[in-house]
Structure 1
């Protein structure tokens, strides 16, 4: 009885902490189409200003891949009123920090400043949108930066083709541009003209294709006036881009192939499945599945393959749901002279068990607790809240998922986990990849 009351008390504590995490916000559109989201939280004198553009690697010309990621770098070069090379100096001199990142679906720029520098952050992002300087010296400079990034992260990085999907997505997506890597082709970037970069900017980096998010120590009405001053006068250079609906043929036969990596000595067995896009409920079920299989040392794959049988040096599985499709990746590195086929057998056994048996109530409760904690932690920082607000609006078309998403996870049942495993994790629906040392020559 004492344990029962303790469990109830813990549940009430979790519920109250989640309720306290509710994120309030104000959102509206400017006449030029810019979507604005404001979140006021005056606990600390800090503010994050971010702009998410709905452009990523999937929006590129197949003969000019890498443009979206290239612009992540290029738009820090300078503007009409910010001298070339001075962007980061201005941010640092005013006690701030900034960064940007690109995916297949969007590009996100943000600054975090002391809240008395809010106007500075707004001015800088409005400058990036209105007055970017795109010239040959900037293109040439960032071309070398991107090449070095590719060398460090992919070409010379162990397992880089798995981590950055360059050795995976090309096999899963033959029609959809998800088959292209985010970092793109260096040959394409080398061949591109300055006019092509200027045209890409005119097409995608407009108010009608952007979401501005401001979170932190602000006053809503005052901030709305600032937004109007800095962003309302910006005109769209082109119409809002239309996203094509490109459908992949279903995978009906197992794709067996090999990729080589001269940076590794230990091979890997990699199994990859195409899964639903991120707005679908089944995409959330895959988050549960990946946690069951490889979420920590007590997970099924880790315990069986690493701890008990000592046949794997490492094992992992994770879901990567995106705007149009998702992928579910399982991989294991052998220990000693264990063959890749033995690793595959164990991974298939784990999948078969999910397909044929409901997970235990205890395991299911542990899952739910993990995702309750994940939800609370996701909104524990101003930068995290800003990113989430922008992402949910741009990619999910529902800003309030920042508060509601936990209900989706709570609605998932043990039967859902079994059903989704049966529907998507079949041998004839996957990429079966041997990731091997060497060059393959």
Structure 2
């Protein structure tokens, strides 16, 4: 069994290293501005239909937060031709699955069907774009759903407000300072007209990309796309003018209390560049180096050898305007948060002052290439990669070229990026403590 697994792993590595299949695609624009990308793959009788809208948690109407995430839920309520509450039933009864997700920068809806239901997927997404029902009843229903989601994922979940604690300290002006899910008082105070205005502003064909991937005929699919989406009216151009942040020049310290935890946590946060910059890719590699797996630098040091941490993780939260680089640790026993901060900074300092070994660097390259292959190993994955490459990065062919960015990274780049962004004078330090320590 081990031999077989090693053999499969070797095959995967060979594919990643030089034989990852190029993703072929056709793209065009409808007269209403909808960008369409088609990817034909006949290897399985499956098709993915997806729409990515250029709207996320950072977008506001009258300063109110949380609308994009709210619409992620609301646009499953029903349409003029899909009865309320029947969306998921239609999908499942036709052999499909579907879902949606929202980030600070975009909202993504998708269906995966047997390929003989391609037309059904296109019709449903066109219905969502052209004929949604936005009424008080649906708004009130989804408002309660979102409140429960916030309670379960943030307010009543251990460490659920950790990310918000960092973002609130890292950003003073930019909308990234507020949670993607929004503040419940904003949703409670929003009027029906404000919800309709938000939809009319952002959920328009010229602010979206439609991707169809899988077992399709490109010519037939083009015609279906034009039939179902061509008559949807074009919207006004979306204009954004967010206040940008001044550079961080000194450490910011803050404390957050959480009634759902017993073990405190320390978080080091750094403001980093847009995910369109090469440096963001370098930061992904630094994350792997510091904390991906039991052989990583921070895990081996703090968890295995020095027994100072229960858990440690470093990750690059990639975003369009600014990224957030976070290092998180839970202390073991009597270890103080300050001790953890010192130990973590010691390893970051090494990155700023020394080149990592050739052996460690090659491991990072292998991981990047394997991750690239895995991300495009299904039509659903390819569909999302195509949508992301076009809408967020402005280059559809990035789906094929992204691996070249990782291959161009050097050990010197890792040292340079750590030096530029991961400095004590440019960080947020959050002491994330049990509520019981507040009185102390």
Which residue of the partner structure matches residue 209 of structure 1?
A: 207
Which residue of the partner structure matches residue 76 of structure 2?
A: 76
Matched, 1:305 2:302: yes
Q: Deviations over 1:376-412 (max 9, x none)?
A: 1110011111111001111000111111000000100
Q: Deviations over 1:72-116 (max 9, x none)?
A: 000000000000010001001101010000010100000000000
Within 5 Å, give how 1:78-97 maps onto structure 2: 78-97=78-97
Deviation at 1:190, TM superposition (A): 0.5
SS in 1 for 2:89: helix
Which residue of the partner structure matches residue 3 of structure 2?
A: none
Counterparts of 1:334 and 1:20 in 2: how far apart (Å)? 41
Which residue of the partner structure matches residue 44 of structure 2?
A: 44
Counterparts of 1:121 and 1:306 in 2: how far apart (Å)? 48
- Label 1:390 to 1:196 Cα distance change in 2 as closer, same or farther (>3 A): same
Contact 1:57 1:103 in 2 (8 A): yes
Q: Deviations over 1:238-266 (max 9, x none)?
A: 31201225311111110011011111111
Contact 1:62 1:177 in 2 (8 A): no
Counterparts of 2:196 and 2:307 in 1: how far apart (Å)? 55
- Root-mean-square deviation over aligned CA pairs: 1.4
Contact 1:274 1:430 in 2 (8 A): yes
Deviation at 1:26, TM superposition (A): 0.5
Counterparts of 1:256 and 1:199 in 2: how far apart (Å)? 39
Q: Deviations over 1:342-388 (max 9, x none)?
A: 10111010011111110001111111111111111110011111111
Which residue of the partner structure matches residue 180 of structure 1?
A: 178
Within 5 Å, give how 1:62-73 maps onto structure 2: 63-73=63-73
> Which structure 2 segments of 5+ residues have no match?
1-9
Counterparts of 2:20 and 2:334 in 1: how far apart (Å)? 52
Which residue of the partner structure matches residue 277 of structure 1?
A: 274
Counterparts of 1:399 and 1:38 in 2: how far apart (Å)? 11
Matched, 1:157 2:157: yes
Counterparts of 1:408 and 1:16 in 2: how far apart (Å)? 14
Counterparts of 1:259 and 1:409 in 2: how far apart (Å)? 36
TM-score, length-scaled by structure 1: 0.95
Contact 1:17 1:376 in 2 (8 A): no
Matched, 1:121 2:121: yes
Deviation at 1:59, TM superposition (A): 1.1
Which residue of the partner structure matches residue 249 of structure 2?
A: 252
Which residue of the partner structure matches residue 5 of structure 1?
A: none
> Which structure 1 segments of 5+ residues have no match?
1-9
Which residue of the partner structure matches residue 99 of structure 2?
A: 99
Counterparts of 1:270 and 1:201 in 2: how far apart (Å)? 36
- Label 1:428 to 1:232 Cα distance change in 2 as closer, same or farther (>3 A): same
Counterparts of 2:12 and 2:86 in 1: how far apart (Å)? 51
- Label 1:305 to 1:20 Cα distance change in 2 as closer, same or farther (>3 A): closer
Counterparts of 1:83 and 1:331 in 2: how far apart (Å)? 45
Contact 1:56 1:103 in 2 (8 A): yes
Which residue of the partner structure matches residue 367 of structure 1?
A: 364
Which residue of the partner structure matches residue 407 of structure 1?
A: 404
- Label 1:24 to 1:314 Cα distance change in 2 as closer, same or farther (>3 A): same
Matched, 1:14 2:14: yes
Deviation at 1:19, TM superposition (A): 3.0
Counterparts of 1:372 and 1:346 in 2: how far apart (Å)? 30
Contact 1:18 1:376 in 2 (8 A): no
- Label 1:15 to 1:117 Cα distance change in 2 as closer, same or farther (>3 A): closer
Within 5 Å, give how 1:188-337 maps onto structure 2: 188-236=186-234, 238-337=235-334
Counterparts of 1:37 and 1:302 in 2: how far apart (Å)? 42
Contact 2:32 2:230 in 1 (8 A): yes
Which residue of the partner structure matches residue 380 of structure 1?
A: 377
Counterparts of 2:391 and 2:412 in 1: how far apart (Å)? 31
Contact 2:254 2:430 in 1 (8 A): yes
Counterparts of 2:266 and 2:285 in 1: how far apart (Å)? 22
Q: Deviations over 1:188-209 (max 9, x none)?
A: 1001111110111111101010
Deviation at 1:21, TM superposition (A): 2.3
